[in-house]
Amino acid sequence: MIKLVKTMWEKCSVVFKLKSPLHIGYTPFKGSVVSPTRYYVLGRNFWGAITKRITEFLYNEPKDIDYRNIGKEVMKNFKFSHFYLYDGKTVFTPSYTDEGLNYGGIPQTKFEHMFIGSRISTAIDENSGTARDESLHEIEFINNKFRDEKGNIKGVKIAGYIWVKNTAKILENKIQFGTNSITINGFNIIQELVLGGESKYGFGDVEIDFLKQGDEDEKDEKVMIEINNEQPLDCYLEYSKEIQFEVDIELLTGRVYYDPETDNNEPNNTPGEKMSKVKICFTPGTIIGKYDAELNYDGTLRIINNPK
């Protein structure tokens, strides 16, 4: 007799095209006039963007509680990796070398020259029409265009993975797959998203370019990731003092509308008012030993066993 194994999670390889520059912020720097960008998109950014898109599709005039409820549904039914810049050939994941930090096998300085830009802004005094004192500010961003080795201008993409539970429903609406789509009632929830910060400048618009359902699916309730000591981390991993590592750790947090891990139905917050739960993490590019880790909804990893 053939025993059928029920698949719990559908793993999808996904690529998005950047329609505009992209700013993925760090923890705010007090007193700094520069807002640096991360060079990749966190899984948490995708959770927030898809929560917003689904909520505003299902509700004509969504309320605070609607965003919270849909956010928790997305948290239960989806998991997101971090997404890295992709030029059609190379996925630019970070790795530490004796010469310093590389992205996609090239030095950080070359990577920044290819993909990273900045913009100066200042607030204008309404009375005088001149720049307001101490308002000068520089915003760093990922460009949506780059020049390749032959001098041709090309579009920037980001590549990563989305896992969807096979029984996934959002308020009894079944999740389905199609050509380059994940749909609810025929609505493609990943067709267009707004990721990261500085949307007032038109930053963060992405659209789906490619989706492929994977050949290997997770058969457990948890999505498990095998960490190889020969490969740098490509996700943040929650810190443990028992783990030997090379090279870096970081306090991972960011501005959010609300945090589903700590949400207690507090009064309405404005976007970016609340900080997410602080996690001490090994950074992408760090090398540790061999472990099995569980993938959280926000793209971070948590070790669940002793080293192999």
Residue 276 lies in a domain: no
Q: Within a domain: residue 196?
A: yes
Q: What is the mean pLDDT of each run of 10 residues along the chain (308 residues)?
A: 56 96 75 77 94 94 90 93 96 89 93 90 53 63 91 94 89 89 94 87 91 72 83 89 74 67 59 66 88 90 73
Query: According to the model, what pLDDT value does residue 103 have?
Result: 95
What is the reported pLDDT for 125? 47
- Whole-model pTM: value is 0.86
Contact 37, 140 (CB under 8 A): yes
Q: Which of 79, 108, 80, 78 is nearest to 93 (CA)?
A: 108
**How many angstroms separate the CA atoms of 206 and 191, rounded?**
8
Instruction: Give pLDDT, residue 230.
Output: 79
Polymer length in residues for the chain: 308
Residue 244 belongs to a domain: no
Residue 53, domain member (yes or no): yes
Which structural domain, as residue segments, surrounds residue 65?
9-218
User: Which pLDDT belongs to residue 269?
Assistant: 54
Q: Is residue 4 a part of any domain in this protein? A: no
Residue 295 placed within a domain: no
Domain total in the chain: 1
Token pair for 84: 């890295």
CATH number at residue 165: 3.30.70
Q: Examine residue 142 and state whether it is found in any structural domain, yes or no.
A: yes
The predicted structure's pLDDT at residue 276: 65
Query: Is 292 contained in some domain?
Result: no
Give the pLDDT confidence score for residue 215 in this predicted structure: 60
Identify the H or E element spanning 157: strand 157-165
